[in-house]
Amino acid sequence: MTDTTVTPTSARTAPDTAGAPDLDALRTIGTPLDGNVPEAPPAQAWADRRLHYNLVNPNNRRKFTVIVVGTGLAGSGAAAALGELGFNVECFTYHDAPRRAHSVAAQGGINSARARKVDNDSVDRFVKDTVKGGDFRGREADAYRLGEESVRVIDHMNAIGAPFAREYGGQLATRSFGGVQVSRTYYTRGQTGQQLQVAGANALLRQVARGTVNLHTRQEMLDLIVADGRAQGIVVRDLVTGEIRAVTAHAVVLATGGYGNIYHKSTLAKNSNATAAWRAHRRGALYANLCFIQFHPTALPLSSEWQSKTILMSESLRNDGRIWVPKQAGDDRRPADIPEDERDYYLERRYPAFGNLTPRDVASRAARERIDAGFGVGPLRNSVYLDFSDAIARLGRETVYTRYSNLFHMYQQATGDDPFQTPMRIAPGAHFAMGGLWSDYDMMTSVPGLFVGGEVGWGYHGANRLGANSLLSACVDGWFTLPYAVPNYLAGLLGSPVLDPEHEAVTQALQDVNGRIDRLLSTNGTQGPDRFHKRLGELLYTYAGVTRTPEGLARGIAEIRALREEFWADVRVMGTGDQLNQELERAGRIADYLEMAELLCLDGLDRDESCGAHFRADHQTPDGEAMRDDEDWCFVSAWESPTTPGGTFVRHDEPLRFEAVPLQTRNYK
């Protein structure tokens, strides 16, 4: 079978492509995309762009209504900042309170290129690390903006109440985090996300009190309203009463978080979902790089059938913990009984420069490799050790305790083991979605008027996100990018009213949502939605996990289609639509995941290279390192889904250019 669209330049270690699927039957290549990146050199791009943005006069601001969906770091920041500027904001969340957004769960920290220490950090180095870390699949200019605004993010979050960790002299404390050799990660114990999220949510509530933001809790966005080619509203379902309503506005900001939960067992919250983004996609917003999913190397391993998720243990643990497996496969001794020279500290062995701090994808893959080779530990042999005994000996119990108390506590809660006594057990788990709704440099998607912020977008992180960069990107988007970019868009709409709620696009969207809910409720099958989700997750871990093969991905697509069919024939949604109905909520989200999963696999199948978190077994060096293909794949894949049944997906490419950080292979040896 020939592959006409791509010419692989890398040597395939698995030359047998007999089982390789026919890509052309699945997708076509569409017109290329323009990321609308300023012409200026990447380091000046943001200043240049801001200078050219249109402004809205303070008196005119309250004439504009902006919808912000999500109250995570990105959503609360955008809503609060737009409210502070005087725009009229309608903010939505399916949670009962803004503070519950999943940003709250981030543990490790937030990066900032404040570069106060003499460890030779700088904005340029930050950009270099981010771009290289992302394996050259993100925009350089975006990374510059991220680095530049990172300084203000720390100042602002501190000012609105986040109690960052301090040194004894009173200055902000930093630590180094997976993948970088400088100390630029700001933190508050192991609760950085919580403290930032609470501060952001409180700032949002301040605007609610001032009357600039209307907050709507327990309202789930189920569709986007696109009229006259612009995003002009959303459809929400009242999760308490079941009522479906339309809300119209001048612009819509989606800050609805990532889709990692598609793997069912992930480090995300149980309710995290991609419905808002997927529905926007189905209304025309392109979805970029879906297959770029980060598997976190330090998640808790699965140990029982009803385990509902894989809890993340912060990567900061790798600062002081050493990762190892027994040298002998199937070694059943207690970890303490295995002598030093019979332990394989495989990260230190394979990557002496970075050791236990190699980037996440490398660490995950290395762990997976050891586990698959039979060296895994624990009852199901599905994990590796993360050992603190050296750190305890070196730093003392006290210091280790201050650094990791709540992480150790959490681990003990979950497993019943005390990390002071016996090494932790960890395994890679689905964690972060680098892919997301495609947006241009101004955070606007391919649907005019629809903006994204935070993990729902695709920006900054390329094919692999550096630890502690995503809290940052959510904050930068929310507080320091969207408040510039959205008004620029609104300025052109001065004088135009919000969309008439009687407009046919509104009616249509309402009907569509109503119809979808009806279909879910009336299928009357035999299996609850969660069972499908579980199966989908297992399927994705198998075919689109840490290591992928074209055959596997193709099989994945076929099995997902079958599962989707089974879902629509056999799903059982108990209860009715006019009440609080969690089964219905779940069913809708899983229905969307079942569509999305296919595109995820297709994206992975299509991207015929290994890059970042996307590791294709057919693109690796003899010693198992990823082989990127810059000649053919140095672009973003932004996808369009078929609008008619049986249609094909369309891939639009946004070429990437690198000026400040020249293309080079990642090397963490």
Partner 1 sequence: MSNLISRSPVPAAAPPATTPPPSPPSWVLKVVMAVTGVMLVGFLLFHLAGNLKVFLGAEEFNHYAEWLRHLFNPLMPGESFLWVFRVVMLTAFVAHIYSATSLHLRARRARGPHRRRAMPAKRWSVRSMLMTGAIILCFVIFHLLDLTIGRSAAATSEFTAGDAYGNLVASFQRPAVALFYALTMLLIAVHLSHGVWSVVNDFGATGNRTRQVGLVLAGIIAIVIAVGNMLIPIAVQAGWVA
Partner 2 sequence: MKLNLQVWRQASRTATGRFETYQVTDATPEMTLLELVDRLNDQLVAEGREPVAFESDCREGICGCCGMTVDGKPHGPEDNTPSCEQHVRSFTDGETVVLEPFRSDAFPVIRDLIVDRSALDRVIQSGGHVAVDAGTAPDADSAPITFETAELSLDFAACIGCGACVAACPNGAAYLFTGAKLTHLSLLPQGKQERGTRAVAMIDQMEHDFGPCSTYGECAVVCPAGIPLTAIAAINKERLRSVFRRKAT
Ligand X SMILES: Cc1cc2nc3c(=O)[nH]c(=O)nc-3n(C[C@H](O)[C@H](O)[C@H](O)COP(=O)(O)OP(=O)(O)OC[C@H]3O[C@@H](n4cnc5c(N)ncnc54)[C@H](O)[C@@H]3O)c2cc1C
Of 179, 193, 326, 435, which one interacts with ligand X (CB under 6 A)?
193
What is the identity of the amino acid at 342?
A: E
Kindly state whether residue 399 participates in binding partner 2, applying the rule CB under 8 A: no
The interface partner of residue 459, options being partner 1, partner 2, ligand X, none and the CB cut-off 5 to 8 Å by kind, is none
Of 44, 303, 514, 648, which one interacts with partner 1 (CB under 8 A)?
514
Strands 230-238 and 244-248: antiparallel
Cross-strand pairs, 377? 383
**Measured distance between the N- and C-terminal CA atoms of the chain, rounded to whole angstroms:** 37
Among 154, 160, 155, which residue's Cα sits nearest to residue 202? Answer: 160
- Number of amino acids touching partner 1 (CB under 8 A): 28
Strands 185-186 and 174-175: antiparallel
Site string for partner 1, 17-36 (x = CB under 8 A): --------------------
Kindly state whether residue 105 participates in binding ligand X, applying the rule CB under 6 A: yes
Site string for partner 1, 84-103 (x = CB under 8 A): ------x-x-----------
Kindly state whether residue 209 participates in binding partner 2, applying the rule CB under 8 A: yes
Kindly state whether residue 561 participates in binding partner 2, applying the rule CB under 8 A: no
Instruction: Closer to ligand X by CB, 94 or 615: give it.
Output: 94
Kindly state whether residue 198 participates in binding partner 1, applying the rule CB under 8 A: no
- Quick check: is 572 catalytic? no
* Nearest distance, CB of residue 1 and ligand X, angstroms: 38
Kindly state whether residue 542 participates in binding partner 2, applying the rule CB under 8 A: no
Kindly state whether residue 81 participates in binding partner 2, applying the rule CB under 8 A: yes
The interface partner of residue 198, options being partner 2, ligand X, partner 1, none and the CB cut-off 5 to 8 Å by kind, is partner 2
DSSP state of 134: T
Cross-strand pairs, 91? 68, 215
User: What is the b/e burial string over 42-61, where b = at least 16 CB atoms within 10 angstroms of the residue's CB?
Assistant: bbebbeebeeeeeebeeebb
What is the identity of the amino acid at 484?
A: Y
| 138 within 8 A of 461, measured Cβ to Cβ | yes
Kindly state whether residue 447 participates in binding partner 1, applying the rule CB under 8 A: no
Contact residues for 616 (Cβ-Cβ < 8 A; gap 6+):
547, 548, 549, 550, 604, 607, 608, 609, 610
Instruction: Closer to ligand X by CB, 101 or 517: give it.
Output: 101
The interface partner of residue 432, options being ligand X, partner 1, partner 2, none and the CB cut-off 5 to 8 Å by kind, is ligand X
Round to whole Å and give the CA distance between 306 and 488: 49
DSSP string, 413-476: HHHS--TTTS-EEEEEEEEEE--EE---TTSB-SSTTEEE-GGGB--S-TTSPPTTSHHHHHHI
Among 99, 95, 94, which residue's Cα sits nearest to residue 80? Answer: 99
Cross-strand pairs, 184? none
Kindly state whether residue 247 participates in binding partner 1, applying the rule CB under 8 A: yes
Kindly state whether residue 106 participates in binding ligand X, applying the rule CB under 6 A: yes
| 225 within 8 A of 69, measured Cβ to Cβ | no
* Nearest distance, CB of residue 652 and partner 1, angstroms: 34
Of 13, 28, 214, 412, which one interacts with partner 1 (CB under 8 A)?
214
Going from the C-alpha of 129 to that of each of 8, 146, 151, 192, 608, the distances in angstroms are: 27, 12, 16, 21, 24
Among 649, 656, 657, 655, which residue's Cα sits nearest to residue 30? Answer: 649
Alpha carbons within 13 A on the beta-carbon side of 591: 22
Query: With CB under 8 A as the contact rule, which of the stretches 3-11, 148-156, 429-437, 440-448 interacts with partner 2?
Result: 148-156
* Nearest distance, CB of residue 588 and partner 1, angstroms: 13
Round to whole Å and give the CA distance between 204 and 68: 11
**Burial class of 12 by CB neighbour count within 10 A (0 to 12, 13 to 18, 19+):** middle
Give me 628's structure tokens: 């990127």
Instruction: Closer to partner 1 by CB, 180 or 208: give it.
Output: 208
Round to whole Å and give the CA distance between 101 and 103: 5
Of 75, 133, 423, 429, which one interacts with ligand X (CB under 6 A)?
75
The interface partner of residue 293, options being partner 1, partner 2, ligand X, none and the CB cut-off 5 to 8 Å by kind, is none
Of 71, 150, 195, 212, which one interacts with partner 2 (CB under 8 A)?
195
Site string for partner 1, 577-616 (x = CB under 8 A): xx--------------------------------------
Kindly state whether residue 533 participates in binding partner 2, applying the rule CB under 8 A: no
* Nearest distance, CB of residue 572 and partner 1, angstroms: 17
Task: Write out the binding residues for ligand X, residues 199-258 only, by CB under 6 A.
Answer: 220-221, 255-258
Task: Write out the binding residues for ligand X, residues 444-503 only, by CB under 6 A.
Answer: 454-456, 468-472, 474
Kindly state whether residue 332 participates in binding partner 2, applying the rule CB under 8 A: no
* Nearest distance, CB of residue 93 and ligand X, angstroms: 4
Of 24, 84, 124, 595, which one interacts with partner 2 (CB under 8 A)?
84
| 472 within 8 A of 153, measured Cβ to Cβ | yes
Site string for ligand X, 137-176 (x = CB under 6 A): ----------------------------------------
Kindly state whether residue 512 participates in binding partner 1, applying the rule CB under 8 A: no
Round to whole Å and give the CA distance between 603 and 290: 6
| Helix, strand, coil percentages for the chain (3-state, nearest 5) | 40, 15, 45
Kindly state whether residue 583 participates in binding partner 2, applying the rule CB under 8 A: yes
The interface partner of residue 166, options being ligand X, partner 1, partner 2, none and the CB cut-off 5 to 8 Å by kind, is partner 2
Instruction: Closer to partner 1 by CB, 73 or 208: give it.
Output: 208
The CB density around residue 32, as the number of other CB atoms within 10 Å, is 11
What are the catalytic residues? 360
Contact residues for partner 1 (CB under 8 A)?
90, 92, 208-209, 214-217, 219, 236-238, 242-245, 247, 501, 510-511, 514-515, 517-518, 521, 576-578
Contact residues for ligand X (CB under 6 A)?
69-75, 92-95, 101-103, 105-110, 192-193, 220-221, 255-258, 267-268, 272, 275-276, 312, 431-432, 454-456, 468-472, 474
